[in-house]
Amino acid sequence: MGEWYAHSHERLPAEQWHLLCDHLGAVGEQAGIWAKQFGAESMGRAAGLLHDVGKYSSPFQARLKGAPRRVDHSTAGAIIAENRYRTGRHPIGRLIAAAIAGHHAGLADGRGFGERTSLDERLKQTLGSDLPALESAWQSEITLPQRLDSLPIKKYSNPAIANQRCGFQLAFLVRMLFSCLVDADYLDTEAWFAAIDSGPPPRGGWPSLAQLKAALDGHLAGFAGRTSEVDTARADVLEACRAAAALAPGLFSLTVPTGGGKTLSGLAFALDHAVRWQLDRVIYVAPFTSVIEQNAGAFRRALAPYGGAVLEHHSAFTDDAISKERKREGGEGGPEAAGKLKLAMENWDAPVVATTAVQFFESLFAAAPSRCRKLHNIARSVVILDEAQTLPLPLLRPCIAAIDELARNYGTTLVLCTATQPAIEDHPERPPDASFKGGLRDVRAIVPKTQRDALFRRLSRVRFERLGELGDDVLASMLRDREQVLCIVNTRGHARALFEALRGEPGAGHLSTWMFAAHRTRVLAGIRDDLTNGRPCRVVSTSLVEAGVDVDFPCVFRAEAGLDSIAQAAGRCNREGRRPMEESVVAIFRAAGAKAPLEIRQRSPPSARSRG
């Protein structure tokens, strides 16, 4: 054969098809550029050059011409990578092979515990027997790196942790290489087909982070001169964030009382830090779509006229939502703008990304090419983990391991942002019950402890009352007696039952994770409108409202829960400090017949637990 092709097109003669050497060269170059961000440029380049080398076979070229037989074109490159880059104890060739073998079907388990054929089984196949023989042209058309970078992994000084995390670190590196390869492959293939059909898709063309920083500076300047206690406290938080942005990338905590302005102050830290250290983007991670929509909207307003650079990636962000947001900021709201943001969801190449914790962490542990494609764009970014206290307890250790690995080996700055900071730091000098073994180390506080304590005192805006045990009839009666009140309970079933008791009252509302995201968004918009205009507003909610949802009630009822939940609930009462503290009540009650929440039962003595 004279020419070898990667892709065909029914409207083009064969001599105009996508040349295989061009495709492999482009993918290798781009994958290498992205992998260079974490010290693996030659590994990424080798993966790109070898990923489709199995197409240098007569059966695959026949497939391009219409032959019905499917041809495995991924395993050949994986076998070559394994054999060519075998380096004794260091499995560099195996890591590259894993990425290549999975670039269509997804990452396979190494030894046969997963649903797909294992990597071991695939690498034991023989070219020319189990797989189509490769023509010699591949060796003359592509030039592989002679030597590869050493493993770009900083090991832990503690031998116990080093041994425990070694396999995890290698698996994480595979996913990052996989991401570089898959995204480069998709983009080069997309560009070739788009050139034939309708021209290049609307990717890229984003404003720089320096432009976004300048826009935010202009927006924040509008708050200068405000002298209320809340405003001056927020100004102090902003000043601390901007000062800390000069510190080297790594792990940070931003502990600010509710209503302390951490949303825009955190964004200011992220943009200042990214510009100072030449990082690539800001990724905002929140537990619920209601919080993402709220804060992404605040980001767009603060970054005008560049609000279109904010990408939301979650289930509730539809074409209509994209168009509405673009029109609201004065930009384009048509199909091209929507298309650009939808394409950016595939690989997170926008400068500001707002997404859910589920999307973020599940992607970091995913196997599918479409889910992993974005991972390389998390490297060398600033990640704000908002409402960090909501990290799921059953998955806490893998989440912490991923956070630590991003900071340790991928140049990522991560900020644990909340009013109630979770105890996930490892302090070896402290007693075992005062430290999280295997947790995060060297987390720097953006707001120093002395300033933080003063902030909590300055922003105290409520008083607490304990009501003891309340049956639903008495509780519903107390809620009816108040024109504007929020009641937070521990279960969705209890929230629903209590709402049914209030359904006929003016302003009755209900929030829970049982609701569709779009429904919750509409309900929240109505609640805010009622509160702003002084109309009756009696809302029953699960704890989702505590995760940064911006509402301001004169009175909040909270079922007994952990102290972090009580503090977060208090943040929905007198949030802006416009009412006297003595009139702003957070009433804590014990629901009659309800089992105490797990966090209380775990800390209670056995006699108390036996009483329920």
Q: What is the pLDDT of residue 339?
A: 65
pTM of the prediction?
A: 0.87
φ/ψ of residue 198, rounded to 5: -140, 15
Q: What is the pLDDT of residue 610?
A: 34
Query: What pLDDT digit, counting tens, does each position of 559-569 carry?
Result: 999 888 898 89
Q: Which of 93-102, 246-255, 295-304, 422-431 has the lowest mean pLDDT?
A: 422-431
Label residues 43-56 b or e (16+ Cβ within 10 Å = b).
bbbbbbbbbbbbbb
- 8 Å CB contact between 270 and 303: no
Q: What is the pLDDT of residue 317?
A: 64
Which residue has 């990522």 as its token pair? 412
294 and 435 fall within a common domain: yes
Q: What is the pLDDT of residue 333?
A: 43
516 and 404 fall within a common domain: no
When pLDDT is cut at 50, 70 and 90, the band that residue 460 belongs to is confident
Where is the domain boundary, 197, 226, 242?
197
179 and 280 fall within a common domain: no
Q: Which residue has the higher pLDDT, 434 or 47?
A: 47
- 8 Å CB contact between 54 and 75: yes
- Name the token pair of 216: 């935010």
Q: Which of 210-214, 368-372, 590-594 has the lowest mean pLDDT?
A: 590-594
Find the mean pLDDT for residues 359-367: 95
Find the mean pLDDT for residues 19-46: 97
Is the pLDDT reported for residue 606 higher than 80? no
Q: What is the pLDDT of residue 132?
A: 92
CATH of residue 533's domain is 3.40.50.300
Report the mean per-residue pLDDT for the chain. Answer: 89
- 8 Å CB contact between 380 and 280: yes
* Domain that includes residue 478, residue range: 460-602
CA distance 381 to 38: 12
398 and 265 fall within a common domain: yes
HEC assignment per residue over 505-533 = CCCEEEECCCCCHHHHHHHHHHHHHHHHC
- 8 Å CB contact between 93 and 86: yes
389 and 469 fall within a common domain: no
∠284-359-423 over CA atoms, to 5°? 65
The helix/strand/coil state of 598 is helix
Q: What is the pLDDT of residue 335?
A: 46
Find the mean pLDDT for residues 138-163: 88
39 and 143 fall within a common domain: yes
441 and 464 fall within a common domain: no
Is the pLDDT reported for residue 604 higher than 70? no
CA distance 23 to 64: 15
Where is the domain boundary, 165, 197, 229?
197
Q: Which residue has the higher pLDDT, 238 or 226?
A: 238
> Which H helix or E strand runs over 231?
helix 229-244
- Residue 204 resides in a domain: no
Of 440, 433, 422, the C-alpha closest to 254 is 422
- Residue 189 resides in a domain: yes
Q: What is the pLDDT of residue 334?
A: 44
- Residue 234 resides in a domain: yes
When pLDDT is cut at 50, 70 and 90, the band that residue 96 belongs to is very high
Which residue has 């570089």 as its token pair? 180
CA distance 266 to 295: 11
> Which H helix or E strand runs over 585?
strand 585-591
Contacts of 377 (CB under 8 A, 6+ apart): 179, 280, 281, 347, 348, 349
Q: What is the pLDDT of residue 612?
A: 33
Is the pLDDT reported for residue 8 higher than 60? yes
- Residue 332 resides in a domain: yes
Q: What is the pLDDT of residue 184?
A: 97
Is the pLDDT reported for residue 399 higher than 80? yes
- Residue 612 resides in a domain: no
Q: Which of 344-358, 425-439, 522-536 has the lowest mean pLDDT?
A: 425-439
Q: What is the pLDDT of residue 330?
A: 43
349 and 221 fall within a common domain: yes
Q: What is the pLDDT of residue 577?
A: 84
- Residue 611 resides in a domain: no
CA distance 45 to 59: 26
- Name the token pair of 212: 């976004």
Q: What is the pLDDT of residue 548?
A: 73
Is the pLDDT reported for residue 385 higher than 70? yes
Is the pLDDT reported for residue 436 higher than 60? yes
Find the mean pLDDT for residues 29-44: 97
47 and 146 fall within a common domain: yes
Q: Which of 165-174, 193-202, 457-466, 543-552 has the lowest mean pLDDT?
A: 193-202
What is the tally of structural domains in the chain? Answer: 3
- Residue 65 resides in a domain: yes
Where is the domain boundary, 407, 422, 456?
456
CA distance 408 to 197: 43
289 and 420 fall within a common domain: yes
Q: What is the pLDDT of residue 500?
A: 95
82 and 115 fall within a common domain: yes
How far separated are the first and last CA of the chain, in Å rounded? 79
Q: Which of 136-140, 238-242, 249-253, 600-604 has the lowest mean pLDDT?
A: 600-604
CATH of residue 47's domain is 1.10.3210
451 and 491 fall within a common domain: no
Find the mean pLDDT for residues 426-448: 87
Q: Which of 80-94, 145-159, 213-227, 269-283 has the highest mean pLDDT?
A: 269-283
Q: What is the pLDDT of residue 575?
A: 87
- Name the token pair of 209: 């982070």
Find the mean pLDDT for residues 287-292: 82
- Residue 122 resides in a domain: yes
